[in-house]
Every structure is written in structure tokens, then in C-alpha cells.
Amino acid sequence: MARIADTFARLRSKGRKAFVSYIMAGDPDRERSLEVLRGLPGAGVDIIELGLPFTDPMADGPTIQAAGQRALGGGMTLEATLGMVRAFREENDETPIVLMGYYNPIYSRGVERFLAEAKEAGVDGLIVVDLPPEEDDELCIPALKAGIDFIRLATPTTDDARLPRVLENTSGFVYYVSITGITGSAVPKPSDVAPEVARIKAATDLPVIVGFGIRDPESARGISEIADGAVVGSAIVSKLAEGGPIEELLAYVRSLADGVHSG
Amino acid sequence: MPDDLINSFLNAPDEKGRFGDFGGRFVSETLMPLILSLEAEYDRAKTDESFWAEMDHLWKHYVGRPSPLYRADRLTEHLGGARIYLKRDELNHTGAHKINNVLGQILLARRMGKERIIAETGAGQHGVATATVCAKFGLKCVVYMGAHDVERQKPNVFRMRLLGAEVVPVTSGRGTLKDAMNDALRDWVTNVRDTFYCIGTVAGPHPYPAMVRDFQSVIGKEVRWQLAEQEGEGRLPDTVIAAIGGGSNAMGLFHPFLDDRSVRIIGVEAGGKGVDDKMEHCASLTGGRPGVLHGNRTYLLQDDDGQILEGFSISAGLDYPGIGPEHAWLHDTKRAEYVSITDREALDAFKLSCALEGIIPALEPSHALAHVMKIAPDLPSDHIIVMNMCGRGDKDIFAVAEHLGVDL
């Protein structure tokens, strides 16, 4: 039942990099959001990050902010997000799902209750942007005890002195934030990112996935050449916001996946 | 923990930045190294006499401190009970208490070699103070302000621009203070290497709540010796009262009195149209519950799903859905009492201050004054109330005129 570890083992045996894609739960509405979620594995997505909508997404750019507002506007909740995961798991027991968001909705529900519900629904990992290692007692340690990976962000400001602290309780994989900034902003240069990924890999056996600012098959390939995989979020979310048919969106996702898998 | 089990209230926060269960450092990893280096720099500055000597010099010659402690005789007589003193922080340069803290943070930014300062502002007072001090030191200044507040605080927007600051109207969310803070955090995470975030209130990740409180505590420290000077050696106030949005002027007045258990401490939140289930208020302690936002755990206005609600108040300086974590702790330990005052009550107090004392107060301290009006008549004449008149009302005359149905 370790979907994240199994996925990386399988990819490694095929010599492939991981394609991680992000969508916001409930965006643009619950029905279409679930349809897209169900379509992602078939479009080549190896790991799914499912955004938990929050009113105050301090680390996100305008694209993800707008997606969260659309979701909340449609009445999306934490409970309904877990419901989406359950519905997805009815037909897919393989593709890992990582919930990504902010702490308050989880804190509001109660950490123990949330972890039990998330585990039961089929959630494999958590990325909670506003919980640095200094606050590990809040959710990270309880999540690890509950058998849910806690995936930490490492950033360009995480220096060598701090890196061990960041890696200490990280599990599943390390998410390297390629830029100092918010989601969906500057495009990272693989030549800048490569030494950072190497630095992190020297300190951990976990896979290192790179995200923030990757928006087309070419940049996805460039990044996956120097890391264990790439995350695309805002580019997919903004395509979804354009409102075209879902097949078209999934074809776009497929092109990104091909970029990563050729890297 | 009830307050009689706490030896001293002056030892908080702990090394994790916690006031009891409140406070902390809930920020993204990108900001964490900077938060830690700010904490280290502040720890050094705190015990560095040259730092405080520079502060004292600027407070005296640039800000105009100490601000007077003024016995409001006509108000006292009118209310017919307790003796009322006003701490005149509205007489500071830039017209509010905000500059006390800004000076401290800008001196720290200079020590850290940061040349670009960002700030969030609600009513515009913190933005004006930040723009002012940046102009004085030749620093680049960017102020994030909710688009709604830009509209209702035009004079302050113009002031900031005159002072050379770039004012960025924030349209995300409902365009108020909380959204301005989100965008300031987004700027900071993007420009973390050269930028210092000058937070305007006793909130945010540790060390901000403690640091801003320390800079604002000059208010309460002055009250101690000023009252002794006027009322006799050792005379402490019986009650201290201040308005609370994030709570920096209140924390500054309260903190030096926290361990004087004879001093009753009252914080006044903005009750908007009334604290009820319609949520048209900003009373985080009276109408909210604990949560995590903007780097700290504190009381927040939020729905059942942990989504943050927008506050509502006649005063742009008070409509923040949270409150400083130290207030949350003082509330839970019952060391301080927190009450709420409606827009209507604040307007009545505003008019009374103009009519009886010749002081046009900002709408923020008008809330505090409204509570003074409620309790003073029932208190004996030897009971001394000190209320923080934390800002002047020039910026609010348009909003007040509108509410009074006057066309300017």
C-alpha cells in the first residue's frame, strides 16, 4: 500500500522520470474536476497533486488563487475533496494522490480526525506549504505515524546548514521549489536548478522532484533531465480555466507527460 | 492555564515563538531562513545599547516622543465617574502609533543590509509611517493596500505617493487588509534576498509579534512615569483600554502592565454592525476561534471548513479577521478582557471627543473611547482609566461625513 514508493520503484526499473501534475479539487466545478482527476493517469501522470482550496493561498500566484476561488465558490470543502479521492480510488488503486494546500482547513477539522479520514479515503501524501520543520509536531509527525507521507519543500534559500533539518522528517519524495517565488511565475533554468538538485540528492536517498514555473513539454523535459521528475500545476490549471473540452486538456497533459518521460 | 498560575506574563513568547498555544512560525520554507536570521538580528539588537540609543534619538527628535498623557477633564466631568487620561499617540509624526514600530524595523533592516522595504496597510497609517521612514533613510518602499481601502483612504494613498512609495492596490479576495498581507507575503517570497517585510501589527510569524510589541511598548512605559508624575509616585492606572485590529497599539500600552495584577486591561474589538451570526464585524476574539493564518496561530474569523472570512468595520484599520497571538493568549488566560463596540457606538464617541476635548480621533481609538463611555460613569472618581488615543482622525473625516449623511 505504499503507492508513492512503488511508483518510483516502477519508474526507476523502466528508466523513466516521474511526471507529477497538479489540479485544484473542485475546479472549475466538482463534476469536471473529478472527470479530469480520473483522466490524469491515462494521460501519463505518475503522481497526482490535488489542491485543497483555501481562501488565503499565500504561496500561490494568480492562476492557483483563481482556481481556489472557483472551487470555493462552487461550495468545495475538505470533506468533498476527500470524497473525490474516494471516488477516484474506486477505479484506481495505483496512482498516488498527494493533497497540497495550507494548514488551517486541516487544523480546523482536527489533525487526528483528518489523518484518519485521509488515510481511509486513499490519500498517500501531504504537502502543506505553511508548515516548516519548526512546526513538525503539528501535522508532520502525526501524519508519518498514520502512514501518510509528509513531503517537504526545499527551496533556493534552504542552505547547507538548514538542509538536514528540512530532510529529517521528509518522506515520499522531496519537492524542490525551483525559484524564490509563487506558483506559476518565472520559468526555471535547468542549468540553475541542476546543482541544487545534486546538492539535495547528496543529502538524501529520496527522489527529488522539481516544480514551480514549468509550463510546456520542453521545459518539463529540461527539468526532468536533471531531476527525478517534474511538477506542472499552473499551466494545467490555466488550460482548464479556458473551458475547452476535457479531452483537449488531457491531450495537453499527455504532451507534458511525454516531455517528462523523454527526459 | 488561569492567570494566577502564571508567574510572569513578561517571559512570553518561548523559543518557538509561542504565547501558550498561540503564535509560532507557520510560513513557507522559502521564508524560514530569513525569519531565523531576522530573529538572530533582533536578539542582537535588543541587547545592543547603540541600537536603543538610536531609537531614542529618533523617537525624540523625529517622532516627537514622549507623547503627552493628557487628563481629559471635560470628558471626565461629562461621564461623571472615573478620571480619564488619554495617551496622545495621535500627536506623533505621521499621526498614529504606527511609526514607533516602523522606526525599529527599519533600523533592523539597515543592520541586515536590506534596501527594499515592503509593507501592508489597511487604513494607510502603517503605510504612511513606512513610506515616511523609508524616505528619511533613502530606502525603496512598496506598500500593498487592498483596492477597497485605496478607495476609502485616498488621502493616505496620496501621502504615501508623495513620500516616494509605490502603492500597489490589491484586488485579490475582497481587497482589504488580509488580502494586502497575502500579496505582501507573495512579494517577500519572490524577493526574499533583498527585501525586508515591515509588518504593521503584532501578528505574523515569530519574531514579529514580540518584536513589534517591544517597539510599541514605549507607549506603556511612558504612561507609567507620566502618570506617576501627575498622580504621585507609584500610582498605576486602574484600567488601561485600547482598540484592537491586529492589536499593536493595545499590546504597546498593555505589556508594561501585564504583571501589575491590580491593573485591569481591556481590549476593544470592532463590532461592525454587531457581533452575531451575520459576521458583519471584525471581533476575532469575541466571534472567532483558533486557527492558523499569516504565519501564526491565533483567533480567526472563519467558517466551519477553516476558510477565512472577511471582517467588516467602519474603520479600515480594524477590519482584519485575526488578532495578534499574544492577545489570544491574554484572552484565554483571562489576564485581559476583550469587548466589542459597534460602528454606531464608535461614531458617537468620535463626535463626543471632538465636542468635549477638541480632539478629532481616528475611528480606531473611537472604539476604545466608546467603551470608556460605557464603563466610566459607574466607576468611582478615584479610579484612573488610561485610554490610548492611538491615531488622529484627519484620514477618517470623509468616511465619517458619509455616515453622518454630510456631502463634502
pLDDT in tens, A193-249: 999 999 999 999 999 999 988 989 999 999 999 999 999 999 999 999 999 999 999
Among A27, A46, A49, A124, the one annotated catalytic: A49
Same domain, B118 and B186: yes
**Which chain B residue has the Cα nearest residue A66?**
B172
Neighboring chain B residues of A180 at a CB cutoff of 8 Å: 30, 189-193
Same domain, B245 and B335: yes
pLDDT in tens, A175-208: 999 888 888 877 888 899 999 999 999 999 999 9
CATH architecture, domain defined by A3-261: Alpha-Beta Barrel (3.20)
Specify the pLDDT at position A143: 98
User: With 0-12 CB in 10 A as exposed, 13-18 as middle and 19+ as buried, what is B5?
Assistant: exposed
| CB-based contact B183:B168 (threshold 8 Å) | yes
Domain range annotation of chain A: 3-261
Specify the pLDDT at position A10: 97
Contact B28/A134, CB-based, under 8 Å?
no
Specify the pLDDT at position B3: 60
Q: How far is B277 from chain A (nearest CA, A)?
A: 19
Lowest mean pLDDT among A14-18, A129-133, B6-10: B6-10
CATH number of B110's domain: 3.40.50.1100
| B116 reaches A (C-beta below 8 A) | no
* Listed residue (B217, B219, B216) closest to B200, CA to CA: B216
Which of residues B211, B229, B263 is at a domain's end?
Answer: B211
Chosen for mutation from B176, B178, B186 (greatest number of chain A CBs closer than 10 Å) is B186
Q: Name residues of chain B where pLDDT drops below 50.
A: none
Specify the pLDDT at position B274: 83
| CB-based contact B131:B143 (threshold 8 Å) | yes
H/E stretch holding B264: strand B264-272
Contact A131/B25, CB-based, under 8 Å?
no
* Listed residue (A72, A59, A93) closest to A24, CA to CA: A72
In A, what residues contact B, Cβ < 8 A? 53-62, 65, 72, 77-79, 102-109, 129-135, 152-159, 162, 166, 177, 180-182, 185
Counting every residue, how long is chain B? 408
| B139 reaches A (C-beta below 8 A) | no
What percent of chain A clears pLDDT 90, i.e. is strictly above it?
A: 92
Neighboring chain A residues of B173 at a CB cutoff of 8 Å: 55-56
Domain of B340, in residue numbers: 65-95+217-403
Specify the pLDDT at position B7: 86
- DSSP one-letter code for B104: H
Q: Is B8 part of a structural domain of the chain?
A: no
Contact A157/B295, CB-based, under 8 Å?
no
| CB-based contact B357:B72 (threshold 8 Å) | yes
Q: Is B20 part of a structural domain of the chain?
A: no
Specify the pLDDT at position B1: 55
Q: How far apart are CA A77 and CA B395, in angstroms?
A: 40
Neighboring chain A residues of B296 at a CB cutoff of 8 Å: none
Angle between helices B363-375 and B343-357 (to 10 degrees): 90
Specify the pLDDT at position B310: 84
User: With 0-12 CB in 10 A as exposed, 13-18 as middle and 19+ as buried, what is B314?
Assistant: buried
- Number of compact structural domains in chain B: 2
- What does the pLDDT average to over A46-71? 96
Q: How far apart are CA B292 and CA B317, in angstroms?
A: 21
Mean pLDDT, chain A, whole residue set: 95
A54 backbone dihedrals φ, ψ, rounded to 5°: -145, 145
Which of residues B211, B239, B255 is at a domain's end?
Answer: B211
CA A204 vs CA A29, A148, A173, B206: distances in Å = 39, 19, 10, 29
CA B106 vs CA A178, A183, B110, B268: distances in Å = 30, 29, 6, 29
* Listed residue (A59, A77, A55) closest to A67, CA to CA: A55
- B276 φψ region: left (φ > 0), alpha (ψ -120 to 50), beta (else): beta
pLDDT in tens, A24-40: 999 999 999 999 999 99
Q: Let me know if A149 is a catalytic residue.
A: no
What single string gives the DSSP state of each residue in A147-193? Answer: T-EEPPEE-TT--TTTHHHHHHT--S-EEEE-SSS-TT-SPPPHHHH
A244 backbone dihedrals φ, ψ, rounded to 5°: -70, 180
Q: Is B22 part of a structural domain of the chain?
A: no
Which of residues B159, B184, B211 is at a domain's end?
Answer: B211
Q: How far is A83 from chain B (nearest CA, A)?
A: 15
Same domain, B38 and B182: yes
Contact A104/B27, CB-based, under 8 Å?
no
Specify the pLDDT at position A182: 87
ipTM comes to 0.95
What are the start-end ranges of the H helices in B243-300?
248-254, 284-287
Q: Let me know if A168 is a catalytic residue.
A: no
